[in-house]
Structure formats: structure tokens, C-alpha cells
Amino acid sequence: MHFTSETVESLVDQFARLPGIGRKTARRLAAFVLKLPKSEVEQMAAALIAVKEKVIFCTECFNVTDFDPCPICASPKRNHQIICVVEEPNDVMAIERTNGFSGVYHVLGGAISPLDGIGPEDLKIRELIGRVGGQNKSPKPDGTQEVTEIILAVNPSVEGDTTAYYISQLVAPFNVLVTRLAQGIAIGSDLEFTDEATLTRALEGRVHV
């Protein structure tokens, strides 16, 4: 089944490129857009363009932000001695929803996956070691400098396990406490889709690596 308009079919093609969106769902989305007032479609288009034009990556933690450093890294109320390492920006949002973590973050940009051609050099691991090793000696907003704990909040998967082990070996010489989220999170699941209560328990029950 196809729309009789090539313009609408082009929109369907674009929606179908999104992760988790099949052709059937893409057609529903296109039909929904057709029913929207022009002003709302323009707002949607403007938001998409703004994401590409205005959103940048924080040079400290590599989370997405409109300002550098990001509000979390710039906040004097956060504990800058504890770094929670996550795979993607969505994981930061998931943990922030728990309101149970007061430290800062480091976004790797993925996980080590040789089958997908992703190695340590493709992630922000070197930058993490730089933060832990004290290469950046400038005082943090809360006045602290040294990192005392690294929380490996990577996904409980083969790729996540590999990444956690690799990082733990690299930071071992720095005498920093390395912990990992407790296994209240199901194997193979993503932090992004984990409920707040489970994430809170995982943070509280983190274990030594």
C-alpha cells in the first residue's frame, strides 16, 4: 500500500529510517502529520533543524547540551569527585530521572563491540582516563579536583561487560574506586528503558569491579 502522493511517500521513507519504526508505523506518522495545522508542522521542522544547528557536545562529559560546559558539569551542587560512566546521552536522562545521583557523568558514545567494528579508540575512553588521571587540573565548580569513584553504568550486555572490564583495567593504576551498577537491571536490557525504581536500587547497590 502506498500513498498516491510522492511527497507523502518521501516523508514515509524518512520516518522509516528512524530506529524501531517500520513502514506501517511510518505511514501512520505521515498520516498524522498531514492532519496537523501548518503552524505545528513548521514548529516540528524548526525543532529538528535547531537540534542540528544548536546542540553540541559538552567538552567535559560529552553529553548533549546547548552550552559548554553542560549544566551538570557547571553545577557547584554536583559531586565532581564521582563520575558515572554511561554509553549514551539517553542513559544520563534515565539516571537523572531517579533523582538519586548527585555526581557528574561521562558519556562514552557507545560500547566496545568488535563485531560492529567499534573499538576503544572509537569511544571517549581516552578522555575519561584524562579526567581520572588529573590531566585537567582546573578546579571544578564545587572546588574539588580529584576523582574518587568511577561508576560504570554501562548496559548489562556482552558489549557492556567488555567495556566495563577494559575501563576498570585502565583506571586501576590511579587508585580510584571503581564500581558497577548492581544487577537489578536485567541482562541484555538498556538503561534508557529501565524504570526509575530499578535504577535507584542499582545505584545504591553498586558493587566493586
pLDDT at 138: 58
- Percentage of the chain surpassing pLDDT 90? 74
pLDDT at 183: 65
pLDDT at 192: 80
The Cα 189–Cα 134 span in angstroms is 33
* pLDDT at 197 exceeding the cut of 90: no
Note the pLDDT tens digit of each residue in 87-125. Answer: 999 999 999 999 999 999 999 999 999 999 999 999 999
Give the residue extent of every domain in the chain. Answer: 6-54, 64-208
For residue 57, what is the enclosing H or E element? strand 56-57
Task: Indicate the pLDDT class of residue 194, thresholds 50, 70 and 90.
Answer: confident
Query: How far out from the chain centre does Cα 108 lie?
Result: 8
Show Cβ contacts of residue 118 under 8 Å, excluding neighbours closer than 6 positions. 110, 111, 112
CATH code for 64-208?
3.40.1360.10
CATH fold for domain 6-54: Helicase, Ruva Protein; domain 3 (1.10.8)
pLDDT at 190: 78
Note the pLDDT tens digit of each residue in 151-183. Answer: 999 998 889 999 999 999 999 999 899 999 876
The Cα 52–Cα 166 span in angstroms is 32
The Cα 22–Cα 10 span in angstroms is 14
Is residue 74 helix, strand or coil?
helix
Read off the C-alpha cell for 61. Answer: 562529559
Task: Indicate the pLDDT class of residue 198, thresholds 50, 70 and 90.
Answer: confident
